[in-house]
Chain A
Amino acid sequence: AQSVTQLDSHVSVSEGTPVLLRCNYSSSYSPSLFWYVQHPNKGLQLLLKYTSAATLVKGINGFEAEFKKSETSFHLTKPSAHMSDAAEYFCVVTEGNAGNMLTFGGGTRLMVKP
């Protein structure tokens, strides 16, 4: 069985400072991992994905994430926050035998202060 835990429900940063959104996963098989972003009243947009290639994955809008198997983590980072980054972020896992079925974390709301 697969599961995802986002360790912080809310994160607040100042504009221009680094962003760290934490995600831990549990998976019986080799997982694929994704980060999605959701702005208010919108659908989910894919930020980046890990699919057993490079462990450091670069995504859109300056975000990146590092897959650490030993720590079962897939934390999302950005060197410098922008006001437009304020949104809800979801860490998502799927397994090779799950037929593309996704398991979502509970989400982390990122707030960016001027």
Chain B
Amino acid sequence: DGGITQSPKYLFRKEGQNVTLSCEQNLNHDAMYWYRQDPGQGLRLIYYSQIVNDFQKGDIAEGYSVSREKKESFPLTVTSAQKNPTAFYLCASSTTGWNSNQPQHFGDGTRLSIL
């Protein structure tokens, strides 16, 4: 079955440490997205990529970095500059194009906590 795989499901970070969250999709989608979800809140966009080797900052990109070297993969690094990283992180993908009514498909998320 096609889908989006996020790993690990749970991740712990020590102070001053960078951690990388994995996101892989086999849906042949061009666009991929990273969101942050805090308790009781909606999703906020961190970064997105519409095509390989290109990505754009979302609403809350500070303290995060991404790469898009392959169509299938869009890893997110939470750097030590992100002072409040504890959250639920969701990766999504979609087809792109001028007609933007295509829904995004989501992975099952990674929960990041501070030790």
Give chain A's interface residues, CB within 8 Å of chain B.
9, 32, 34, 36, 41-46, 49, 51-52, 90, 94-102, 104-107
Contacts and interface: CB of A to CB of B under 8 A. Distances in A.
A6 to B, nearest CB: 8
B40 to A, nearest CB: 7
A42 B88 CA distance: 10
A100 B42 contact: no
B31 interface: yes
B79 interface: no
Contacts of B48: 101
A100 B96 contact: yes
B50 A99 contact: yes
27 contacts: A9-B40, A32-B100, A32-B101, A43-B92, A43-B107, A44-B90, A44-B92, A45-B106, A46-B105, A49-B101, A90-B43, A94-B100, A94-B101, A95-B100, A96-B100, A97-B100, A98-B100, A99-B50, A99-B96, A100-B31, A100-B94, A100-B96, A100-B97, A102-B104, A104-B43, A105-B42, A106-B42
Interface of B: 4, 6, 31, 40-43, 45, 48, 50, 88, 90, 92, 94, 96-97, 99-109, 111
A14 B94 CA distance: 36
Nearest to B9: A41
B42 A90 contact: yes
A92 to B, nearest CB: 8
A49 B94 CA distance: 14
Contacts of B111: 41
Contacts of A41: 88, 108-109, 111
B109 A42 contact: yes
Given A94-B100, A99-B100, A107 B40 contact: yes
Contacts of A101: 45, 48, 100
Nearest to A31: B101
A107 B42 contact: yes
